[in-house]
Amino acid sequence: MANNTFGNLLSLTTFGESHGAAIGGIIDGFPAGLKIDFEAIQSEMNRRKPGQSTIVTARKEADEVQFLSGIFEGVTTGASIGFIIHNTNQKSKDYSHNVNVYRPSHADFTYDKKYGHRDHRGGGRTSARETANWVVAGALAKQLIADIKVNAFTSSVGEITIKKPYQDLDFSLIESNDIRCPDQKVAEEMIQHIKDIKKEGDTVGGTITCVIQNVPIGLGEPIFNKLHAKLGAAMLSINAVKGFEYGSGFCGTKMKGSEHNDAFNKDGTTKTNLSGGIQGGVSNGMDIYFRVAFKPVATLIQKQETINSDGNIVEMQGRGRHDPCVVPRAVPIVEAMAALVMADFYLLNKTTKI
> Considering the complex, what minimum distance in angstroms separates the CB of residue 52 from a copy of itself?
21
Q: Report the C-alpha gap between 68 and 276 in whole angstroms.
A: 39
> Considering the complex, what minimum distance in angstroms separates the CB of residue 305 from a copy of itself?
7
Q: Calculate the alpha carbon distances from 77 to 18, 30, 138, 139, 242 in Å.
A: 31, 8, 18, 17, 38
> Considering the complex, what minimum distance in angstroms separates the CB of residue 89 from a copy of itself?
16
- Whose Cβ is closer to a copy of itself: residue 73's or residue 172's? 73
Burial of 149 (0-12, 13-18, 19+ CB in 10 A): middle
> Considering the complex, what minimum distance in angstroms separates the CB of residue 60 from a copy of itself?
21
CA–centroid distance for 345 within its chain: 18
Are the C-beta atoms of residues 311 and 163 closer than 8 Å to each other? no
**Tally of CB atoms within 10 A around 99:** 10
- Whose Cβ is closer to a copy of itself: residue 33's or residue 170's? 33
Burial of 74 (0-12, 13-18, 19+ CB in 10 A): exposed
- Whose Cβ is closer to a copy of itself: residue 46's or residue 261's? 261
- Whose Cβ is closer to a copy of itself: residue 150's or residue 340's? 340
- Whose Cβ is closer to a copy of itself: residue 9's or residue 62's? 9
Q: Report the C-alpha gap between 235 and 273 in whole angstroms.
A: 21
> Considering the complex, what minimum distance in angstroms separates the CB of residue 175 from a copy of itself?
22
Q: Report the C-alpha gap between 188 and 47 in whole angstroms.
A: 19
> Considering the complex, what minimum distance in angstroms separates the CB of residue 172 from a copy of itself?
26
Q: Report the C-alpha gap between 126 and 305 in whole angstroms.
A: 22
DSSP-derived secondary structure for 38-75: HHHHHHHHHHHSTTSSTTS--------EEE-SSEETTE
> Considering the complex, what minimum distance in angstroms separates the CB of residue 62 from a copy of itself?
17
In the chain, the amino acid numbered 83 is: F
CA–centroid distance for 156 within its chain: 16
Are the C-beta atoms of residues 166 and 203 closer than 8 Å to each other? no
> Considering the complex, what minimum distance in angstroms separates the CB of residue 178 from a copy of itself?
19
- Whose Cβ is closer to a copy of itself: residue 39's or residue 73's? 73
Length of the chain: 354
Q: Calculate the alpha carbon distances from 52 to 57, 88, 149, 218, 239 in Å.
A: 8, 16, 24, 39, 20
- Whose Cβ is closer to a copy of itself: residue 76's or residue 98's? 76
- Whose Cβ is closer to a copy of itself: residue 104's or residue 320's? 104
